[in-house]
Chains A and B, each alone.
Chain A
Amino acid sequence: MVEVTLWGSLGTAAGGKNKVDVEAKDIRELFRKLGEQYPGLEPWIDRGIAVSIDGVIYRDTWSKELPQGAEIFLLPRLAGG
């Protein structure tokens, strides 16, 4: 079980929660289960969400493991110049 923190707007889409517990071993599973548990999040996941694991931001590595006790934070997918 990992604790996942949602940024402000995403929290609104998850029914006002800013922290959720999810049983997931990697980012792929996390997104799948988040979508199942909070259908309001699905359009956000489709558009792209980045995952910060202990401060390191992952945009595309869905195979990245979520270590127990790690700080997991969801962020909007970034654009750059």
Chain B
Amino acid sequence: MNFDPRYSGRNFSSVGTRPIRPDGVDKVTGRARYGADFNMAGQLVGRVLRSPHAHAKITKIDTSKAEKLPGVKAVITAADLPDLTDGDASMYDVLDNCMARGKVLYDGHAVAAVAAVDARTARQALKLIEVYYEILPHVTDVDEAMKHAAPLINDAIFTEGLEEKPVKPSNVTKRSQFGHGDVHQGFGHADFIVERSFKTEQTHQGYIEPHACVANVSSDGTADLWVCTQGHFVYRQHCAQLLGLEASKLRVTSSEIGGGFGGKTHVWAEPVALALSRKAGRPVKLVMTREEVFRASGPTSATSIDVKIGARKDGTITAAEATLRYTSGPYAGMWAELGAMTAFACYKLDNVKTVGYEVLVNRPKTAAYRAPSAPMAAFAVESAVDELAKEIGIDPVEFRIKNAAQEGTRASYGPVYGPIGIGPTLEAAKHHPHMKAPLAKNQGRGMACGFWFNFGGQTCTDLNIGMDGTVSLAVGTVDVGGSRASLSLVAAEELGIDYSHVKAIVADTSSLGYNDMTDGSRGTFSSSMATISAARNAIKVLRDRAAQMWDIPVDDVIWENGQAIAKGEKYGNLSPLSLKEIAAQSGKTGGPIAGHSELVADGAGVSFATHICDIEVDPETGATRVLRYTVIQDAGKAVHPTYVEGQYQGGAAQGIGWALNEEYIYGKDGRLQNAGFLDYRIPVCSDLPMIDTQILEIPNPNHPYGVRGVGETSIVPPLAAIANAVSNAVGVRMTHIPMSPPRILAALEAEG
């Protein structure tokens, strides 16, 4: 990479302003096209038949009646998706998850699919497919699944990461461990020790747009896929591999996306739609129902976590230990590992040890959900930290400040931190007026901290300058919440032109090089880096063209404030050439002017947040109300501060929902009981107060503008912040998330 990504302090003219987003008008007028808003001529309707059982062997599938129904154009089963994964275990899991092969592993697992002329015919066809099951015992609870007598979900799984290779298969796919020092010794030095066990239930990202795609496979091996996704390049790779297509012949266009939060990082329906289209020889539109989204997409892990923290009387933590068990659905995952890495990341610890267990259960395959795995670990740790502060008799903010990680601290997950924001967010919290506001009876205030890694990744961007001097910016990271506005600001900043002259779009997979997904809070971080690089490449061309127009050496041309300037006394009579003037002449100076960039945007700075909330509890019913909520988080540099605030507020709201009401509820039969927005209760407008935000800007040394990812960290602290507030309001320590009214009331009654 010939591009220097290091931070250089500068004054910004565009970055940091708050213009209207380029895709805004389309979105307020109903013109923006999402996954289900696209149609092709001759398109069929696809629908998926799903298992009603949590765990069963498929003994036979008879599709003959469905095939004979008039209007049915294709029926597929796993036989139509042969295994082309070539030993790639994780892709095999993806394939098996798209269409069950021999065994169904959860309620909702796809077993067959149809394409028909209309929805009614497709629905009827599903009823005509006969699937014979041999029901197997199932397990959905994380602790139950770890027991020796638990039903085995995959008898080829032997726990990885143990000192000795196990002789028996297990539902635990992996054990992972992090830490340093000697916790045994550390606890020996502690005057106070808090030890507790916690549980969190499974939640869903809850994006309002169900998965939707239109697939069109031609007999010559070319194909098109229109889809709502967080990463169309990744979808292309996965679909091409599973279908045996050449990646370059599969053009994937990302529609506008109606929310993802990690849930649209994984293929489910898309390979099925492509296989249906291939078999039917016609385009197929496949839209999941809301019920299917809950039963058969990728919710987060349910967890069971033990935490032990010890501290001296003076408030110094001497040791910290956690064991974390995370469900990953019926396939191997790395979710407990992430929990184990993030659990104590906020603190400076000499002795720390975390152990994670990945646990198979008969639930949908776990997918990422905003800072995946961190909120549950933070719930356990930050609850214990608060309790420990109380036992010692020290203010919880002071206690955290005293033990906060700093530049040079060895993180609990291994490396040594560079400049980080945990201390500043805590100091800001300490001095925030929210901390001093009065509280009434049955009201309590809680606070908690959160950490997320952030990452960057492969990124490719094109910047084209039109002959009228306006700029089109083609990026490959899907815009999930306003990044086209941020990236336009960055292009304007770098070129020195006005924001209104830049138009950013998300290009399809045939128009741009590979891009990783918009995940890991990387959208604006990575694509802004690539945009800066592309703009600098374009500036090289602009300087060259100006040099030609002036007929002087290019080395004598500099770029400043959106114009070329001839540097040196001898050029005193040359007035600067604006980007517009150079662009107008481009046809005569060498053709179109463009800047391209491809890079790996590594070095995303880690991110920290501190949240404060006030909760009121009705002691007679266990009902809670969020009275006030404040988010303080480091953004590195807020490119478009309004959308940064939006990320803070949105993550906090999701965390509040998780803390209070959201959960997957399985019956004894292993079937999901609440596959809809009626009983999977995400916060509604009247549930929440305004969510105040405070943006701190501690520049990331590894980004030219100092940008850090901001998307995920805001979901990490709320679970614990609310649990701590409930504890302070009514004196009960809630150890089971969500803190639904029945759970709070039961805890209050138990307390007497």
Contact = CB atoms under 8 A, between A and B. Distances in A.
Interface in A47-65: 47, 52, 54-61, 63-64
A80 B602 contact: no
Nearest to B179: A8
B416 A55 contact: yes
Nearest to B454: A80
Interface in B62-93: 90
A20 B369 CA distance: 35
Contacts of B1: 61, 63
Contact of A59 (B163, B262, B368, B457): B457
Nearest to A46: B88
Contacts of A59: 455-457, 600, 602
Contacts of B702: 56
A30 interface: no
B370 interface: yes
A35 to B, nearest CB: 18
A52 B263 CA distance: 27
B712 A9 contact: no
Interface in A10-37: 12-13, 16
Contacts of B262: 80-81
Contact of A75 (B174, B341, B603): B341
Contact of B604 (A8, A57, A64, A71): A57
A7 B602 contact: no
Given A5-B414, A59-B457, A76 B602 contact: no
B463 to A, nearest CB: 22
Interface in B245-283: 260-263, 265
B604 to A, nearest CB: 7
A81 B418 CA distance: 24
B413 A7 contact: yes
Given A7-B178, A9-B175, A63-B1, A80 B455 contact: yes
Contact of B415 (A8, A60, A75, A80): A75
A57 B708 CA distance: 13
Given A80-B521, A80-B712, A75 B414 contact: yes
Among B175, B177, B417, B602, find the residue whose CB has the most chain A CB atoms closer than 10 A: B602
A81 B712 contact: yes
Interface in B429-457: 452-457
Contacts of A61: 1, 600, 602
B160 to A, nearest CB: 8
A60 B413 contact: no
A13 B371 CA distance: 27
Interface residues of B, number: 52
A60 B602 contact: yes
B359 interface: no
A5 B411 CA distance: 13
Contact of A73 (B414, B452, B711): B414
Contacts of A76: 176, 334, 337-338, 341
B458 interface: yes
Contacts of B452: 80
Contacts of A63: 1
B600 A81 contact: no
Contacts of B413: 7, 75
Nearest to A47: B90
Contacts of B334: 76, 79
B602 A55 contact: no
A55 B506 CA distance: 32
Contacts of A80: 262, 368, 371-372, 452-455, 519-522, 712
Given A59-B602, A79-B334, A80-B368, A54 B457 contact: no
A47 B368 CA distance: 17
B161 interface: yes
Contacts of A58: 602-603
Contacts of B458: 60
B727 interface: no
Contact of A57 (B263, B371, B602): B602
Given A12-B163, A60-B458, A61-B1, A7 B520 contact: no
Nearest to B702: A56
B578 interface: no
A81 B415 contact: no
B140 interface: no
Contacts of A16: 163
A7 to B, nearest CB: 5
B83 to A, nearest CB: 19
Nearest to A76: B337
Contacts of B519: 79-81
A64 B602 contact: yes
Contact of A7 (B260, B414, B457): B414
Contacts of A54: 415-416, 418
Interface in B165-209: 174-179, 205
A79 B368 contact: yes
Contacts of B372: 79-81
A59 B603 CA distance: 9
Among B454, B455, B458, find the residue whose CB has the most chain A CB atoms closer than 10 A: B455
A71 B520 CA distance: 24
Nearest to B260: A81
Given A57-B602, A60-B600, A81 B416 contact: no
Nearest to B160: A9
A76 B519 CA distance: 16
Contact of B520 (A55, A73, A78): A78
Given A12-B163, A64-B602, A55 B415 contact: yes
Interface string B323-359: 0000000000010011001000000000000000000
A12 B162 CA distance: 8
A7 B693 CA distance: 36
A8 B161 CA distance: 9
Interface of B: 1, 90, 160-163, 174-179, 205, 260-263, 265, 334, 337-338, 341, 368-372, 411, 413-418, 452-458, 519-522, 600, 602-604, 702, 711-712
Given A7-B414, A56-B602, 8 more contacts: A9-B175, A54-B416, A55-B415, A55-B416, A71-B416, A80-B262, A81-B205, A81-B370
18 contacts: A7-B176, A8-B176, A9-B160, A12-B161, A55-B416, A55-B418, A57-B453, A59-B455, A59-B457, A60-B600, A63-B1, A74-B414, A78-B520, A80-B454, A80-B521, A80-B522, A81-B369, A81-B712
- 8 nearest A-B residue pairs (beta carbon): A80-B520, A81-B262, A8-B177, A52-B415, A81-B370, A81-B368, A73-B415, A80-B519
